[in-house]
Amino acid sequence: MRDYALIHVNGVPREVRGRDAFMMLADWLRREVGLPGTKIVCAEGDCGACTVLRAFAPRGAGGSPPRFEAVNSCIAMVAQMDGSHLVTVEGLQEGDVPAPAQEAMLRCHGSQCGYCTPGFVMAISGMLEQHPVGEIDDRVAANHLTGNLCRCTGYQPIVEAACAAAAVDRRSVGDRYGTAEAFSRAEEAMDRGLEIAHEGRRVFAPTTLEEACAFASRHPECRVAGAFTDLGVPINKGRAMPPALLSLHLIPELLEMEDDGRRLRVGARVSLASLRRRCRDASPEFARFLNLFASPQIKNVATLVGNVATGSPIGDTLPFLLVAGGSVHVASPPAGRGPLRRREIPMTELYRGYRQLALEPGEIITHVAFDHDAGDETIRLYKVSQRKDLDITTVGAAFAVVWDGPRRIASARVAYGGVAAVPLRMPEIEAALVGELDPRKAESIARAIGDAVQPISDVRGTAAYRRVLAANLFRRFATEVLDG
Amino acid sequence: MAEPRSRDTPAARLDVRPDPGSAPHDSAHTHVTGRSEYVDDRPMRPGELLCGLIYSPYARARLKRLDLSDALRIPGVVAAITAADVAHNLWGSIVVDQPLLVEEEAQYAGEVVAVIGAETPEALRRGLAAVRVEWTRLPAIRSIDEAITAERFIGAERRIERGDAGAALQAASHTLEGTLVIEGADHFYLESMAAVVYPGGDGPFEVHSSTQHPTETQHVVAEALGVPFSDVSCIARRLGGGFGGKESQAAPIAAYAALVARASGRPARLVLGKDDDMIVTGKRNPFQIRYRVGFDGDGRLLALQAVLHSDGGAYADLSTAIMERALLHCDNAYFIPNVEVRGRVCRTNHHPHTAFRGFGGPKGVALVESILEDVAGVVGRDALDVRRVNVYAPGRDETHYGQTVENNLLPSLFESLEERCEYRRRREEIRAWNGDPSNNPRGLSMTAVKFGISFTTRFLNQANALVNVHRDGTMQVSTGAVEMGQGVNSRIAALVAEQFGQPLDAVRMLATSTERNANTSPTAASSGTDLNGAAAVAACERIRGRLASLAARLRDLPEDAWPSRTAGLGTQPELTVADTPPPLPVRFEHGRVRVGDGDAAWSIGFAELVQEAHRSRISTCEYGHFATPHLAFDKIEGHGRAFLYFTQGVAASEVEIDRWTGEVKVRRVDLLMDLGRPVNHALDMGQVVGGFVQGMGWVTTEHLHYDENGLLVSHSPSTYKIPNVQDTPRIFNAELVFNEGNVANLRRTKAAGEPPLMLALSVWTAVRDAVSSARAVRVGRREPIAMAIPATAERVLRALEAETFARVEGGRTG
């Protein structure tokens, strides 16, 4: 076991021990490493001022080195960055020459007060790592900047800067910092598990699932730390760090996706960004939807398993998983000797109440699985929020229907988020949908949905608004499929 | 000095110019490389304490028990401050009515009762959690209506009148009345409130604060500590945004850190997290406006009667001045012959509301733009035609407070933008589009802004500046202006460089500090460059006068008699000069100082001349003071010249509403502004585009939500939605008019900071246009649409589907 996390910052390897390992990455960079260019504003992953670049090569991945991607450093815990290669705004400039993203932001007047600027510079740099010269237009650029807020410029000059930077030939951050030496140093360290304890807190990152399950059952109070994007927020807002954290980043099988051509099985550490790339063919509507929800910074680390395990009634992926035959795979230690106990829980049986999951103590979610789109099926996913992008859902809906001829429905699945304490499948509505669909029937089903849901009023909208939205999302679906 | 009279309304041909190639912001390089230092980027000094706040969770509550002993027992907790530790526990920018720390009764949720100072973040977290505080909840006033009923007000009613609005309303062929509800908004500066204080002893307390008003911060800190003003220095290098939020309310934050620094004898740092920042600090004042308006069959306004009530929150802060500016902007760009507007600030149990870009102006502008939109519906004309009938024009150019609108470009701005944005063609397209009820409704609207530039409180219209010309010809300049992104330092640097004919990089702007510039006004009211730039130019002019005289003398002396050759020897009589320039023309350009014209011209390098001045014992440093002339507004009568000049502009916005959800998409914005002769085109454009998008947030998605205790629930970006990059207009054509006519102001420039925000009201009126035309298709006629600000998706859907919501809220289906 190692008692330190190995992190490269701007090419310099650092072994982080003790108290520092339990810090948030942004605080550590600013206070301990002495790099205050990275800013903290919201401390919850909504503003992007803390954006840094991260590359992480899983153990034994081999092959081509991974890309440097934009991530939020304010909701990442230092120990979880073990094995990562980080680049901050201070690491971009080479000598006296600003990097293309920096030069373009300067020339296009992309900074005013400057507080969001390092975050935008890093988000643009992350975009440049992903796209060859000349591939960026306004739309692509804006998609890469949805995770960053600016209150001064109105964004127009920043989008111009992103496009201008993309037109310049450049040496990539990967070429500069993603050296074979750095990667092999990290890989060598990651062959050993990590365990750091400090003043009653403990973080454990084993290299096998067996060890992980054993730890989880020995420490029932432990939290599984995936990407930390959900756990980090309450900690930043004054809650204490959980006493025991289990990190799965050193377990290779959890970083993989398996696809048997019919069903996709997604490991607990697969990022939403890689999932989206993988889904483009198997589940195009889900891939499109993943574009809308969360920021690039979040999607580069956050996982589907995390979204499922958090169990929020407005979890963005949950209505989809409910209509796509979703299930979770869980593992727990064997009673005696022998292999791990594993079982599969259908999504429809997972949620018992508000954020309550049907898991036994010591059980860890290892995978989430769901069906590919069937050929004769129409799937539509909707999300309504106060703001179009990077916002928490007011109401979400998923509709999947199998056709039995034009306008004739053979079977249907309908799920809603944000209308009850748990994400909801609606069997009565599904049954009513079977048969011929015409505008009159669609209207009566819309009204039935409005009647069936039990939403609450909160900061995102009143119960009445949610009721009308729930009905209207079905009206939209019906209009789209009847017109289309 | 005679009051300048600017040129008359120029011809319809406006001179729209592109950016001639502007210099970047003077901090751009350090911004993009992460080297710009903000308050919290200062390295921690040995022993420095981190501070945190304890505040009331209730809108109104009596403090039953406050016990800090458990907190102080936690290892690493060093200081705990309560009201008993404050020397003078009352402050206020206009009315001194607000305690720094609650003594007996909290008046709002978020009001601070104690400050903890600890050595580490973990000790601070535990210390804050260990404070034992108990409250007895008391009945609270949570709305404007409740305050009116209880007759709880701040200050007296203000009134501005012209003509006889009552009689004119009686006589008018058409009248409309209504109530306009405008909610608050959070500044959402990215850098939350922050202060670091190094304790005094060997010098003054050194306060580094993210403040728009270093002087007031200095004074509030001194009074809190019970020391003379001379024992406190306040420094503001730069702010990560301010927008008015740090005009008054930065001061108590600095005072909290200072109290910890004094109690502990250690440096103390208070940096609020975004959640605490949003809960503790005040917002844009919510307004509720009842109005009656009379007009003729063409939509020409004849009379306006309005009663404006604002939610001032628990303490006065700047709310009375904000109300005054609202009353002064009820006309906006339009001539209304008979006006009676009255305003009253309500005292409620909310955070004390405060300055926010526009400072009351946006409420006045919203009122009249809303009225004109509805008037157009009643008389059956296009809203643009109704606006053009009413716009200030020759013969109809006196405001309701008796100031003439000089250099009035408004009619030409309307005319020009109508053409540039193809208004008529698009209006027809939208009419056809909206005819099909299966389309998402679209709306189009053009609104204007005419924003008065000057503080309405006369004494604030002054500034001072220090200009030091060093012996190598470079300059250090400091003023009372605070750099918060707007580029005030870049503009002042450009003005100073221009004065001496030196390149921009010869001028270094220094951090704003009360040690260099005392008794300054806040950087607010869009006036930062106007006031501080003029003070800097005044200082430059005196230095130039002396240097020009010296240059004229040197021309006539043989070089071996110049002071630099002889001053050490004392062989020559010393050269003396006056501040006034010599009779010969002297020009400072391209790094040289040129005496005389044509063939007789003679020149000397600027740096060389500065050297000669020093050897002649002639000062090349100067302190300038500027006081805006010609202001003559009588606040009691509500009459007179309130403003030095007006900044004007127009914008046309097209929106599309998602008919199923009420979500608004801005399809296109065309915008034209008159900013005079910009010092830096790109910086001005940054204010225009940025201000517009900020205003879009205020009128669409930014919604403040409070719980039943009066505590703000939407206190972070996950619940409070400022515009994101995807919310910006799909097409955004913003352009500046080049106008030489603003002779009233420094270098014929115009202030740019606040006015563009108000043009975003065109998005709000376009949403109403869309809703109104969608409903017209359904119910067969156009009717006025009541729509609060912000027009959230829920409100828009409610307006669009009023019947559905009535059904649902009556307990039946959606």
Least CB-CB distance to B726: which of A35, A106, A388?
A388
C-alpha distances out from residue B595 to A343, B394, B502, B606, Å: 93, 45, 16, 12
Chain B residues whose CB is inside 8 A of the A387 CB are 701, 721, 723-724, 727
Residues for chain A: how many in total?
Answer: 484
CA B161 to chain centre: 27
The answer to whether the beta carbons of residues B116 and B128 sit under 8 Å apart is: yes
Least CB-CB distance to A43: which of B273, B694, B814?
B273
Task: Supply the pLDDT for residue A238.
Answer: 84
> How close is the nearest chain A Cα to the Cα of B246, in Å?
14
Residue B151: which region, alpha, beta or left (left: phi > 0; alpha: psi -120 to 50)?
left
Contact B28 A460 (CB under 8 A): no
Task: Supply the pLDDT for residue B782.
Answer: 83
Whether residue B11 has pLDDT greater than 50: no
Task: Supply the pLDDT for residue A336.
Answer: 82
Whether residue A177 has pLDDT greater than 90: yes
Residue B713: which H helix or E strand, with range? none
Surface of B (83-122) touching A: CB under 8 A: 121
Task: Supply the pLDDT for residue A393.
Answer: 82
Least CB-CB distance to B33: which of A89, A146, A387?
A89
CA A443 to chain centre: 35
Task: Supply the pLDDT for residue B551.
Answer: 95
Task: Supply the pLDDT for residue B523.
Answer: 97
Note whether B276 contacts A: Cβ–Cβ < 8 A.
no
Q: Which residue has the tokens 């904000």?
A: B322
Chain A residues whose CB is inside 8 A of the B717 CB are 42, 44, 46-47, 149
Interface test with B, best of A459, A480, A482 (most B CBs within 10 A): A459
> How close is the nearest chain A Cα to the Cα of B793, in Å?
7
Task: Supply the pLDDT for residue A171.
Answer: 87
Contacts of B322 (CB under 8 A, 6+ apart): B285, B310, B353, B355, B359, B360
pLDDT 10s digits, B603-632: 999 999 999 999 999 999 999 999 999 999
pLDDT 10s digits, B527-580: 999 999 999 999 999 999 999 999 999 999 999 999 988 877 888 788 888 766
Least confident of A480-484, B380-384, B468-472, B712-716: A480-484
Contact B814 A146 (CB under 8 A): no
Concatenated DSSP letters of B58-101: SSSEEEEEEE-HHHHHSTTEEEEE-GGG-SS--B-SSS--B-SS
The answer to whether the beta carbons of residues A234 and A42 sit under 8 Å apart is: no
Rounded to whole angstroms, the Cα distance separating A462 from A460 reads 7
pLDDT 10s digits, A401-413: 999 988 999 999 9
Surface of B (20-39) touching A: CB under 8 A: 22, 24-25, 27-38
Whether residue A416 has pLDDT greater than 90: yes
Task: Supply the pLDDT for residue B572.
Answer: 79
Contact A238 B794 (CB under 8 A): no
> Please, what CATH class does the domain formed by B462-627 belong to?
alpha beta
Chain B residues whose CB is inside 8 A of the A92 CB are 33
Task: Supply the pLDDT for residue A231.
Answer: 86
> How close is the nearest chain B Cα to the Cα of A337, in Å?
42
Task: Supply the pLDDT for residue B578.
Answer: 74
pLDDT 10s digits, A258-269: 999 999 999 999
Contact B32 A156 (CB under 8 A): no
User: Given pLDDT bands bounded at 50, 70 and 90, which one contains residue B812?
Assistant: low
Task: Supply the pLDDT for residue B813.
Answer: 55
Whether residue B699 has pLDDT greater than 80: yes
In chain B, the residue whose alpha carbon lies closest to the alpha carbon of A116 is B190
> How close is the nearest chain A Cα to the Cα of B52, in Å?
11
Task: Supply the pLDDT for residue A337.
Answer: 84
Task: Supply the pLDDT for residue A362.
Answer: 85
Note whether B718 contacts A: Cβ–Cβ < 8 A.
yes
In chain B, the residue whose alpha carbon lies closest to the alpha carbon of A468 is B814
Contact A475 B718 (CB under 8 A): no
CA B799 to chain centre: 32
Contact A154 B798 (CB under 8 A): no
Contact A115 B685 (CB under 8 A): no
Cis-peptide, bond into residue B790, ω within 30° of zero: yes
Domains, chain A, ordered by start:
5-91+175-252 (3.10.20.30), 100-170 (1.10.150.120), 256-483 (3.30.390.50)
Q: Which of A420, A401, A386 is closest to A484 using CA atoms?
A: A401
Mean pLDDT of B298-326: 98
Q: Which residue has the tokens 């060389």?
A: B608
User: How much of chain B is helix, strand and coil, in % rounded to 5?
Assistant: 35, 25, 40
Note whether B571 contacts A: Cβ–Cβ < 8 A.
no
Residue B636 CB burial class (10 angstroms; 0-12, 13-18, ≥19): exposed
Contact B28 A111 (CB under 8 A): yes
Contact A459 B29 (CB under 8 A): no
Contact A107 B24 (CB under 8 A): yes
Chain A residues whose CB is inside 8 A of the B801 CB are 468
Whether residue B202 has pLDDT greater than 80: yes
- Give the pairing of strands B621-627 and B462-469: antiparallel
C-alpha distances out from residue A68 to A8, A9, A16, A65, B445, Å: 12, 12, 21, 9, 45
Contact A152 B191 (CB under 8 A): no
Least confident of B50-54, B198-202, B263-267, B769-773: B198-202
Least CB-CB distance to B805: which of A31, A151, A468?
A468
Task: Supply the pLDDT for residue B9.
Answer: 46
User: Which residues of B participate in catalysis according to the annotation?
Assistant: 754
User: Given pLDDT bands bounded at 50, 70 and 90, which one contains residue B285?
Assistant: very high
Interface test with A, best of B32, B37, B689, B699 (most A CBs within 10 A): B32
How many of the other CB atoms lie within 10 Å of CB of A188? 11
As given in the structure block, the two tokens for residue A28 are: 């550590």
Rounded to whole angstroms, the Cα distance separating B303 from B338 reads 5
Interface test with A, best of B33, B40, B48 (most A CBs within 10 A): B33
User: Given pLDDT bands bounded at 50, 70 and 90, which one contains residue B810?
Assistant: confident
Concatenated DSSP letters of B5-23: ----PPPS---EE----PP
Chain A residues whose CB is inside 8 A of the B726 CB are 142, 146, 388-389
Least confident of A255-259, B101-105, B692-696: A255-259
Cβ-Cβ contacts under 8 Å between A and B: the total is: 245
Chain A residues whose CB is inside 8 A of the B695 CB are none
pLDDT 10s digits, B434-447: 999 999 999 999 99
C-alpha distances out from residue B118 to A119, A346, A365, Å: 29, 49, 40
Does the structural domain B46-140+187-280 have CATH classification 3.40.50.2300? no
How many of the other CB atoms lie within 10 Å of CB of B476? 16
Task: Supply the pLDDT for residue B1.
Answer: 39
Task: Supply the pLDDT for residue B811.
Answer: 64
Note whether B153 contacts A: Cβ–Cβ < 8 A.
no
Candidate CATH numbers 3.40.50.720, 3.40.50.1700, 3.30.365.10, 3.30.465.10; the one for domain B1-36+403-457+637-814: 3.30.365.10
Note whether B188 contacts A: Cβ–Cβ < 8 A.
yes
Q: Which of B470, B613, B474, B620 is closest to B553 using CA atoms?
A: B613
Predicted-complex ipTM score: 0.96
Whether residue B10 has pLDDT greater than 60: no
User: Given pLDDT bands bounded at 50, 70 and 90, which one contains residue B2?
Assistant: very low
Contact B241 A152 (CB under 8 A): yes
Helix (H, G, I), strand (E, B) or coil at B288: strand
C-alpha atoms less than 13 angstroms from C-alpha of B756 in its C-beta half-sphere: 29
Least CB-CB distance to B793: which of A36, A150, A386?
A386
Contact A450 B808 (CB under 8 A): yes
Sequence ranges of chain B with CATH classification 3.30.365.10: 1-36+403-457+637-814, 46-140+187-280, 462-627
Contact A146 B724 (CB under 8 A): yes
Contact B191 A113 (CB under 8 A): yes
The answer to whether the beta carbons of residues B55 and B279 sit under 8 Å apart is: yes
pLDDT 10s digits, B649-697: 999 999 999 999 999 999 999 999 999 999 999 999 999 999 999 999 9
C-alpha distances out from residue B700 to B760, B762, B805, Å: 10, 11, 20
Interface test with B, best of A51, A112, A153, A419 (most B CBs within 10 A): A112
Whether residue B634 has pLDDT greater than 50: yes
